Amino acid sequence: MPETYQVKFLLLGEVGVGKSSLLLRFTDQQWLPESAAQSTIGVDTWTDELEVKGKHVNLVVWDTAGEERFRAITSSYYRDTQAIILVYDITNRESFKAIEWWFTECSNYAPESAVKIIVGNKADKGDVRQLPMAEAAAYAARMGALYIEASAKTAIGVREIFRDTLEGILE
């Protein structure tokens, strides 16, 4: 029987940036308009068994609440995490500024070996962008993180966030 790899991803970011929407697009190839989306309370987990590069993987994604009132309970979520996906909304500069706080949390609680990916979500709204891609990418490079822009609405970049990161971890 082939070995099963256990992999845990953690989604972090402010409320409303689209963490749950990115996960829904990856898992079910669906998108809900913002008016239909509900904020995560505490944490939601998604688990699936995947075949990645000939390896059997049990992937668990922890989708955390972005609301400040839930932040005190998130420290335990970092345990055994292989990838941390830090999401901001490209149309909301404040959500990008908050990434610095999330990075501090990662430094305090996450395994040092965890891959960090900064995701600029809502790339389909580039015409109302508040943050140049180059600025965000430069910040990610300084922090030792990968950078990608994505859109849960159009699916641009979503596969790369999850599947490609998973492939990199398994190499």
Domain boundaries 4-170, corresponding CATH code: 3.40.50.300
pLDDT at 69 over 80: no
Q: Is residue 83 within 8 Å of 117, Cβ to Cβ? A: yes
pLDDT band at 27 (very low <50, low <70, confident <90, very high): confident
Whole-number Å distance between alpha carbons of 156 and 20:
15
- The CA dihedral of 121, 52, 106, 15, to the nearest 10 degrees, is 30
Domain boundaries of the chain, sorted by first residue: 4-170
In tens, the pLDDT along 77-93 reads 888 999 999 999 999 99
In tens, the pLDDT along 106-139 reads 999 999 999 999 999 999 999 999 999 999 999 9
Whole-number Å distance between alpha carbons of 80 and 114:
9
pLDDT at 156 over 70: yes
Q: Where are the beta strands (DSSP E) in 14-157?
A: 43-52, 55-64, 83-89, 115-121, 146-149
**pLDDT attached to residue 74:** 64
pLDDT band at 15 (very low <50, low <70, confident <90, very high): confident
- Dihedral sign, Cα of residue 57, residue 43, residue 117, residue 152: positive
**Phi, psi (degrees; rounded to nearest 5) at 67:** -70, 140
For the chain, the helix, strand and coil percentages under 3-state DSSP, each to the nearest 5: 40, 30, 35
